[in-house]
Structure 1
Amino acid sequence: MKANLVFILILVFIFFGYQDADAQRRRGKSKKPKSAKVVQTPPNVSYTVSMSKPWTHLLEVEMVMNWPQMPKKAEVKMPVWTPGSYLIREYARHVQDFVALDANGNALDWRKTSKNTWQIDTNGAKAIRIGYYVYSNDLTVRTNELNYEHAFFTPAALLMYPKGQLKAPSTIRVRPYRNWKVATGLPPVAGQANTFKAENYDVLYDSPFEVSDFKELKFTVRGKPHRYVVTGDGNYDLQQIADDTAKMIEECYKLFGELPYDDYTFILNTRGGGGLEHLNSTALQWNRFGFEPESRYTAFLSLVAHEFFHLWNVKRIRPDALGPFDYENENYTKLLWVAEGTTSYYEGVLMRRAGLVNANYILDAKASIAGRLYRQPGRFQTSLEEASFDAWIKSYRPDENSVNRQISYYSKGELVNFLLDILIRTNSAGAKSLDDVMRLLNDEFYKKGKNFTPADFQDAAEKMAGTSLDGFFKKYVSGKEEIDYNQILNQIGLQFVSLLPESDKGYLGGNLSESNGRLRLTSVPANTPAYENGLNADDEILAIDGFRASRRFLTFYLGSKKSGDKVKLSVFRHDKLMELDVTLGKTPASGYKIVPVENPTEEQKRLYRQYLDEDLG
């Protein structure tokens, strides 16, 4: 005990002796004045986009950068992708005639240091002017096009940014060709014609432009201004489109209780196809004669519903990796099945609630998706989370083997969200739904400045269901199990059936296309007779049992055969004639439908009506 006490006293003596000596050393040193902290200020960036010769397809870009802290070697970068489209697109490949000047017009030396980076020797200049052209002859919602009719451009595919300065504000002035008008979701700069401002690059790159002699129709929903801007002729009724769109916007307002923007612009080009979501606008493309008949018009409204719902789901309710963005690399997430699949599901929900389609439309659409999924062996190879994560290398690059290795996070995601909504409704006795999940994510993540994770989404769904959904998520989201539709559908009085059950009729199993009299295999699903008997994608089928093959004849001829019968196929493979003996298999079930169960209970009827606002039966 005494020894311990002595040891403690020695430690105390050493400690205080050190403190005293240290204090004396500090007193002996002269105080140095603290250096002033340098405040980093962002550059002042302005762009001018011109289009003096539309027939050349060259958009002319001038970028002026004023920066008191201009580095000796300034770097500007071109994004390699644009949010909402998960593929590295290498926009820099379209840049040409790059120049850099100081404020006096003196040329500055520059060099490329990577595929999308230009480095400039600034020579002490605090303001530099950069010029370049971008070849723009590709009309998609994620690229640029300039021609005799219009200019459409996606800023991420056109405008460079200063390295490390994605939070910097900027302005963009458009010099339209002749009498063309300019439309974008960006707010205008007061007193400056065709000039707009962005608070940062995430906003700038999220704001497409349409420049043309477009048609414009304005309308108001809940006091907020909206407009359609349309370039191109077609068999559309713009007033009808606006009226039907307003109904869907109203349903979104009812769901979330607000419209989180000051104004909204729908940019529509009547060529191409597809859409891309943005914070307060969307870019839509549709075939000019694709607004009739009613089925095609309904498909167009479905696209509108999808892109508009994105202004919550993805643009504000953000999955973990989707914002703020890295514009030079892939932004990986396992949640595209929510970003896109949930949004695809709400297309039909919004249209049904707006009275634009009936319940059968919803159920037939889901049955059709399920039928297509059954024809994809890839459903046993890739989960929804894996499909989401691998979108960058697979989704936009399908090949002949995709059917065997992949699924779509859009379509299977839509199915899983459909079933999840029903599961939440039935477990909560109709008190909660997927709507409540989306509202929770909006309130707890978007409004609190957070992104959500896969665990957050599952937690939100379980909170609304009032029970664990771990089995559901493990089977159908992170797992690859066959979906048991009836286990869930039966709870609201529905059943998933095949109108054409499996039969002994002869079956080959390859996917075919016919063009100019040539019958070709486009893909060969695994485990089909075509696959097991050695047929390959791109084989040209010339004859079956010595008879000239056409798609129509092949269907007729196989219809006369039975499972187990053998046929001889004559094919060209790489221009070499081959003959293959094929043993036919059974024709799988098809013609899937979702229909009412027999003798539904009152509870099933109640839940069904609450869900689809129609009586069951």
Structure 2
Amino acid sequence: MYEGVTEYFATLFQVNQDLVSKQEFYDKIMDKIQSASGYDDTMSFTTMSENILEEPYASNYINVYSKGALIGMCVDIMLREESNGHRGILSLMKELSMKYGVNKPFEDDKLIDEIVAMTYPSLRDFFDRHVIGTEPIDYNEFFNKVGLKVEKGAKVETNYILNGNQIIVAADPEKGTIFFNDSVSQNSFWHDNGVLPNDVIKKVNGEEVTLPTANSIFQKVFMWKPGEDIEVVLNRNGEDIVIKTTLTQSYTSGTALVENPNATPEQIALRKAWLKG
């Protein structure tokens, strides 16, 4: 759980210090939920940590950076709620560091008991069910506490090679070409510039796109940012089409974590304490 809490701190710190917007932070939380969904959501985290060199635990260990961070988020929100916004997981870690230290390490198997003793009984139920136990976490329960909701079909930011996690290009090995697939229609930048499914990508910023060069070229496309000037040459039914423009933010339709416009004053206050406390 330690790695997960550290990962959570790194993510929360960015929004706390205004290095990213609140929506960017929410998007990162959704990314972690998406990433965690690829692993066994019923696996006990304590059992995994005790058997990390054995399967199936070893292959699920990387999930500590996704679900582990989400566990940290849930504990943080619970602490904020129980303390009327005054305590969070960071203050808890400070309290633990004062009690323990380099010369007095805590015992791993007693850490949860220690945390519960220092905080609130509600954390015992959470740890028993979701960390020691095998019950998946209902993240909506925690989002609701801070006036957030998961919205399907929302307008979400994406880049110029993906729609969320779905790549928008494909290869034709027989012809040796790379082309836009059907998903390009859901990418606002390319759609607004008239790109259609099956358009062959011939050149990107002067570089010829072939099967051997595609990987390195699309790595560069992945790093494109709004405001950059680009030139792409396509071929549609034998006719070349040149797109020479300045990048604008691209969007697609997806699932997003957003602020609930009907959130109560109490929910908004707890959200503020969580993000800025």
TMscore range, shorter length: 0.5 to 0.7
How far residue 473 of structure 1 moved from its aligned partner, in angstroms, is 0.9
Does the residue aligned with 1:391 lie in a helix, a strand or coil?
Answer: coil
The residue identity in structure 2 corresponding to 1:433 is G
Superposed, 1:399-418 pairs within 5 Å as 408-418=63-73
Equivalent residue number for residue 74 of structure 2 = 419
Q: In 1, are the aligned partners of 2:170 and 2:181 still within 8 Å (CA)?
A: no
Superposed, 1:498-509 pairs within 5 Å as 498-499=152-153
How far residue 343 of structure 1 moved from its aligned partner, in angstroms, is 0.4
2:44 matches 1:383: yes
Q: In 1, are the aligned partners of 2:32 and 2:70 still within 8 Å (CA)?
A: yes
Q: In 1, are the aligned partners of 2:151 and 2:257 still within 8 Å (CA)?
A: yes
The residue identity in structure 1 corresponding to 2:257 is I
Equivalent residue number for residue 606 of structure 1 = 269
The residue identity in structure 2 corresponding to 1:480 is T
Q: In 1, are the aligned partners of 2:127 and 2:133 still within 8 Å (CA)?
A: yes
Cα distance change, pair 388–486 in 1 and its aligned pair in 2 (3 A): same
Please give the per-residue CA displacement for 1:570-602, whole angstroms capped at 9, x wherever unaligned.
xxxxxxxxxxxxxxxxxxxx9332212232222
Correspondent of 2:145 among 491, 496, 501: 491
How far residue 555 of structure 1 moved from its aligned partner, in angstroms, is 6.8
Give the distance between the partners of 1:591 and 1:371, measured in 2 at CA: 12
Cα distance change, pair 591–407 in 1 and its aligned pair in 2 (3 A): farther
Relative to its length, the structure with more strand (as a share) is 1
Superposed, 1:229-244 pairs within 5 Å as none
Please give the per-residue CA displacement for 1:509-546, whole angstroms capped at 9, x wherever unaligned.
xx99x99756xxxxxxxxxxxxxxxxxxxxxxx9xxxx
2:101 matches 1:446: yes
Give the distance between the partners of 1:426 and 1:599, measured in 2 at CA: 19
Superposed, 1:451-470 pairs within 5 Å as 451-461=106-116, 463-464=118-119, 466-470=120-124
Please give the per-residue CA displacement for 1:298-330, whole angstroms capped at 9, x wherever unaligned.
xxxxxxxxxxxxxxxxxxxxxxxxxxxxxxxxx
The residue identity in structure 2 corresponding to 1:475 is R
Give the distance between the partners of 2:82 and 2:99, measured in 1 at CA: 23
Give the distance between the partners of 2:141 and 2:17, measured in 1 at CA: 29
Does the residue aligned with 2:63 lie in a helix, a strand or coil?
Answer: coil
Give the distance between the partners of 1:396 and 1:471, measured in 2 at CA: 24
Q: In 2, are the aligned partners of 1:499 and 1:591 still within 8 Å (CA)?
A: yes
Equivalent residue number for residue 236 of structure 2 = none
Cα distance change, pair 479–497 in 1 and its aligned pair in 2 (3 A): farther
Cα distance change, pair 458–484 in 1 and its aligned pair in 2 (3 A): farther
Q: In 2, are the aligned partners of 1:440 and 1:460 still within 8 Å (CA)?
A: no
* TM-score, structure 2 normalization: 0.58
How many residue pairs end up in the alignment? 194
Q: In 2, are the aligned partners of 1:497 and 1:594 still within 8 Å (CA)?
A: yes
Equivalent residue number for residue 392 of structure 1 = 53
Superposed, 1:303-382 pairs within 5 Å as 337=1, 339-376=2-39, 378-380=40-42, 382=43
2:130 matches 1:476: yes
Does the residue aligned with 1:446 lie in a helix, a strand or coil?
Answer: coil
How far residue 609 of structure 1 moved from its aligned partner, in angstroms, is 1.4
Stretches of structure 1 lacking an aligned partner (at least 5 in a row): 1-336, 501-510, 519-541, 543-549, 557-589
Q: In 2, are the aligned partners of 1:495 and 1:597 still within 8 Å (CA)?
A: yes
Cα distance change, pair 368–462 in 1 and its aligned pair in 2 (3 A): farther
Cα RMSD, aligned residues only: 3.5
Q: In 1, are the aligned partners of 2:171 and 2:179 still within 8 Å (CA)?
A: no
Give the distance between the partners of 1:489 and 1:354, measured in 2 at CA: 21
Correspondent of 2:86 among 431, 434, 439: 431
How far residue 416 of structure 1 moved from its aligned partner, in angstroms, is 0.7
Does the residue aligned with 1:432 lie in a helix, a strand or coil?
Answer: coil
The residue identity in structure 1 corresponding to 2:31 is S
Cα distance change, pair 463–449 in 1 and its aligned pair in 2 (3 A): closer
Please give the per-residue CA displacement for 1:400-429, whole angstroms capped at 9, x wherever unaligned.
xx7xxx761121100110111001110111
Give the distance between the partners of 2:121 and 2:56, measured in 1 at CA: 34
How far residue 492 of structure 1 moved from its aligned partner, in angstroms, is 1.6
Equivalent residue number for residue 48 of structure 1 = none
Relative to its length, the structure with more helix (as a share) is 2
Does the residue aligned with 2:64 lie in a helix, a strand or coil?
Answer: coil
The residue identity in structure 2 corresponding to 1:432 is R
Does the residue aligned with 2:85 lie in a helix, a strand or coil?
Answer: coil
Does the residue aligned with 1:459 lie in a helix, a strand or coil?
Answer: helix
Does the residue aligned with 1:471 lie in a helix, a strand or coil?
Answer: helix
How far residue 486 of structure 1 moved from its aligned partner, in angstroms, is 1.8
How far residue 373 of structure 1 moved from its aligned partner, in angstroms, is 2.4
Please give the per-residue CA displacement for 1:140-190, whole angstroms capped at 9, x wherever unaligned.
xxxxxxxxxxxxxxxxxxxxxxxxxxxxxxxxxxxxxxxxxxxxxxxxxxx
The residue identity in structure 2 corresponding to 1:476 is H
How far residue 552 of structure 1 moved from its aligned partner, in angstroms, is 6.3
Give aligned-pair identity as a percent.
24
State which structure, 1 or 2, has the greater radius of gyration over its C-alpha atoms. 1
Q: In 2, are the aligned partners of 1:427 and 1:467 still within 8 Å (CA)?
A: no
Stretches of structure 2 lacking an aligned partner (at least 5 in a row): 155-165, 185-252
Give the distance between the partners of 1:407 and 1:383, measured in 2 at CA: 14
Structure of higher RCO (CA pairs closer than 8 Å, 6+ residues apart): 2
Q: In 2, are the aligned partners of 1:498 and 1:593 still within 8 Å (CA)?
A: yes
How far residue 346 of structure 1 moved from its aligned partner, in angstroms, is 0.6
Q: In 2, are the aligned partners of 1:364 and 1:594 still within 8 Å (CA)?
A: yes
Q: In 2, are the aligned partners of 1:445 and 1:452 still within 8 Å (CA)?
A: no
Give the distance between the partners of 1:594 and 1:554, measured in 2 at CA: 26
The residue identity in structure 2 corresponding to 1:424 is L
